[in-house]
Structure 1
Amino acid sequence: MIFQFEHVNLDFGPEGRWDFGPWEMAKLKRIMGKWQTGLEGIGWNALYLENHDQPRSVSRFGDPENYPKESAKMLATFFMLMQGTPFIYQGQEIGMTNVVFKELTDYRDVEIYNFYRERLMDGKDVEETMRRIAFRARDNARTPMQWDDSLFGGFTTGVPWININPNYHEINVKRQLQEADSVLNYYKALICLRKENEALIYGRYDGWLDEHPEIFVYSRTFEGRAFLIVLNFYGNAPEFTVPPEFAGFKREVVLSNYPDRPDRKQSRFTMHPYEAVVFRLER
């Protein structure tokens, strides 16, 4: 099993890890396609977007302000249905986001303090430095797990070593267990879908619409069974056209982060912001 880091280095800016900017969809497609096809039959991918050293994926690749639930579900669909073993980091299954601490002393990671000192020694702006820390800090993934809306999110009755994200009142396990359309329940549905369909475990990976700047599309095929996964990575409403290779297939929506609608049966339809659709394909 191989852990590769190319996809989580995608948004590095000219100054490296502590710099960030827009990333290219075409590059993400090339990276994922290279590892998915390159290891087929000879190795196995570790599928992940988050870990203890990475910022929260919703804050990084989604929209935590306008589409927190939709983008969390879309990103889950993106990595969970590829070839490999999925790794879900604590809090990712409820869509936990980056925390924005106002004071440097709220952070615990020594790397942050070294970066801050070096920036100031070079005469860099304090506000810009704190902005970069808020986006990129490893401590974003190290705040306490948000179990419920009680003190410290139900993580401890004591004082945690690092402060909890203030949004724990809205984003927590207890609340999401009670909401049918929660991010947590969507992850459960994804896990069930994957376990029940060998094509989503062992199937061949093929990428489609390589030139589309907003939509990521891939298929999984295994022993005559096939799935098509369609993902809108942005807050826009792009047009999706079914690749001609699948024009003769019947399409059944087996999972989506939006309610099903008639136009999905057509060969062309408009996607919602951060929409994810999983089609089962049949001839």
Structure 2
Amino acid sequence: MDDARWWQRATGYQIYPRSFQDSDGDGVGDIPGIVSRLDHLADLGVGFVWLSPVYASPMADNGYDVSDYRAIAPQFGTMADFDRLVDAARARGIGIVMDLVVNHSSNEHAWFRAARASRAAPEHQYYIWRDAGPDGGPPDDRRAAFGGPAWSWVEEIGQYYLHLFSPQQPDLNWRNPALRSEIHDMMDWWIAKGIAGFRMDVIDLIGKDVDAGLYEEGPYLHDYLREMHARVLKGRDLVTVGESWSVSLDTALLYCGRDRGELDMLFQFNHIRESWDETLGKFSPLPFDLVAFKKVMNDWQALMNRDGWNSLFLSNHDLPRQVSKYGQDGEWRVRSAKLLATVMHLMKGTPFVYQGEEIGMTNVPFDRIDQFRDLETLNAYAEQTEAGVATADFLRGARANGRDNARTPMQWTDGPQAGFTDGTPWIEVNPNHGAINVAADRADPDGIIAHYRRLIALRRDSDLVVFGTYRPFAEDHPQVMAYDRRLGDRRLAVLANFGSDPVRFDVPDAMAIRGRCAIANAGPREALEGTVTLAPWEAVAVAD
């Protein structure tokens, strides 16, 4: 269709630079390493790369604590390396999308150093400060996402500052116009360097009203996003993706409705939270419930059928490996990896591939707390074991849902350190890299990479996949996911068995289709009608 935006046909690929490719043997991935692997991404067919932060940072949260928004962390390379990355990616038809981390900065940012030195400094107003509460303690009982109180005391000025994540990540005060202007100018600076857009970290938190106790999706949020759009984004051919852990079906279109003048799409996490214990959180995981999962996905597809735009993902740097979480990472690893890709990429929206997903990388079998590196995991371990949780129980939860599952090095080869580094990696390589690696998968003409390549090409070339409406079937079936896509008189039907046992399925008459097999992971089918038997982890899409 002529009015398609480039990012509607494109597939995104997230790179976690620390773990993608090390070029200098220090055990940490870097920008020159990314440049050396761009042909892998071009071969997949991805249209843009979301680059997790490479800004200057003390790395308390692996770069999500920025100390200079206009500098590159030396461990990742230089600004010249970054410029070379943008140019080399563009030459392959790939845009670079920066991770915009502006709910908070590092406590080592020059702004915060000035802010904590004097209440009279202009930068003091760039952060959120409050006097002590009536009892001399924090102004409220808000808890930080990474454990402990969300307020820290600064003796020099006799005030608390807010940090919704760690004390090393003080929240920025978006109610200050000068702070907003600094951020807008910084965004302009990166756009001038030729980037393709921004992924906006926890953007739902910037509109908070602390005194009213409104932190998530606060009253000023959409004013700030519209101001950002008008000041920086309007008229520029960029993609903008906001991250929100609090967005709901009721609020989603406030961010990305066509006429809102805010963002292009959102990362929402309702489907992720379905497998967390509501009280105990992510380190007490629940079994995967396909019916609940389908309900979330179907509801979001229904909402975005008429307005807005979906992001499609199961993996990122904060989440477990999708084949371990939603698939089967043993006997049926390859087939279930292909199934997950099929059902996600053929929905309406822009798919995002997280590094290693395209070879079916799995969760890592760490069995000691000293093997973990993630701040959230280590803090949760200290808090929960002190509260009486057994170490073995916590580690079981961390192996299922911990963020380090996604952060072990990319597995390029079966050689030492999986081809990631010539040195000692900052975090251990998954011991299964001898069997699961890019070289081995690429050598298989029917491997996972080949399947992703076909799916990405299908989206790029098919108006039906990009713009067709979405209609679910068998919504209460505990093992089968079924939907179709329609555009005019064209149709694509998708059927998937989320199970390690075969299943007989009565295809609804309204879904029945004969035609050609668009993609399959267990042998082609040219028809879906009547009663069909689906093999373990079989997924198939048929077009008429």
Interval containing the TM-score (normalised by the shorter chain)? over 0.9
Q: Classify the secondary structure of the residue corresponding to 1:3.
A: strand
Given candidates 262, 271, 276, the residue that maps to 2:534 is: 271
- 2:288–2:326 Cα contact (<8 Å) kept: no
Q: Classify the secondary structure of the residue corresponding to 1:33.
A: helix
- 1:19–1:132 Cα contact (<8 Å) kept: yes
Alignment partner of 1:27 is 2:292? yes
Kindly provide the amino acid, as one letter, of the partner of residue 462 in structure 2.
N
Alignment partner of 1:122 is 2:387? yes
Distance 1:265 1:123, change over 3 A: closer
Q: Classify the secondary structure of the residue corresponding to 1:195.
A: helix
Structure 2 portions without partners, runs of 5+? 1-264
Distance 1:208 1:261, change over 3 A: closer
Q: Measure how far apart 1:265 and its partner are.
A: 5.7
Partner of 1:258: 522
- 1:120–1:126 Cα contact (<8 Å) kept: yes
Partner of 1:177: 442
Whole-Å Cα distance in 2 between the matches of residues 28 and 211 of structure 1?
11
Whole-Å Cα distance in 2 between the matches of residues 207 and 279 of structure 1?
15
Q: Measure how far apart 1:246 and its partner are.
A: 3.5
**Structure 1 runs (4+) greater than 3 angstroms displaced:** none
Q: Classify the secondary structure of the residue corresponding to 2:354.
A: coil
Kindly provide the amino acid, as one letter, of the partner of residue 471 in structure 2.
D
Given candidates 314, 326, 333, the residue that maps to 1:49 is: 314
Whole-Å Cα distance in 1 between the matches of residues 494 and 488 of structure 2?
18
Distance 1:265 1:7, change over 3 A: closer
Q: Measure how far apart 1:116 and its partner are.
A: 1.2
Map 1:1-283 onto structure 2 (within 5 A). 1-14=265-278, 15-247=280-512, 249-260=513-524, 266-281=529-544
Kindly provide the amino acid, as one letter, of the partner of residue 509 in structure 2.
P
Q: Measure how far apart 1:147 and its partner are.
A: 0.7
Kindly provide the amino acid, as one letter, of the partner of residue 8 in structure 1.
I
1:24-62 deviations in whole A, cap 9, x for unaligned?
322222211111110223211111110000000000011
Whole-Å Cα distance in 2 between the matches of residues 272 and 39 of structure 1?
32
Whole-Å Cα distance in 2 between the matches of residues 68 and 232 of structure 1?
14
Distance 1:250 1:150, change over 3 A: same
Q: Classify the secondary structure of the residue corresponding to 2:519.
A: strand
1:87-123 deviations in whole A, cap 9, x for unaligned?
0000001100000112211110011111111222122
- 1:253–1:279 Cα contact (<8 Å) kept: yes
- 2:509–2:529 Cα contact (<8 Å) kept: no
Whole-Å Cα distance in 2 between the matches of residues 4 and 265 of structure 1?
32
Identity %: 38
Q: Measure how far apart 1:126 and its partner are.
A: 1.5
Structure having greater relative contact order (Cα 8 Å, sep ≥ 6):
1
Structure 1 stretch 75-84 or stretch 26-35: which is displaced more? 26-35
Kindly provide the amino acid, as one letter, of the partner of residue 269 in structure 1.
V
Kindly provide the amino acid, as one letter, of the partner of residue 231 in structure 1.
A
- 1:2–1:43 Cα contact (<8 Å) kept: no
Whole-Å Cα distance in 1 between the matches of residues 439 and 283 of structure 2?
34
Whole-Å Cα distance in 2 between the matches of residues 12 and 251 of structure 1?
40
Whole-Å Cα distance in 2 between the matches of residues 280 and 167 of structure 1?
37
Distance 1:118 1:199, change over 3 A: same
**RMSD value over aligned CA atoms?**
1.5
Q: Measure how far apart 1:159 and its partner are.
A: 1.5
Kindly provide the amino acid, as one letter, of the partner of residue 320 in structure 2.
P
Q: Classify the secondary structure of the residue corresponding to 1:83.
A: coil
Structure 1 portions without partners, runs of 5+? none
TM-score normalized with structure 2 length: 0.50
1:168-209 deviations in whole A, cap 9, x for unaligned?
111111111110121111101111222222111110011011
TM-score normalized with structure 1 length: 0.94
- 1:10–1:28 Cα contact (<8 Å) kept: yes
Structure 1 stretch 143-152 or stretch 264-273: which is displaced more? 264-273
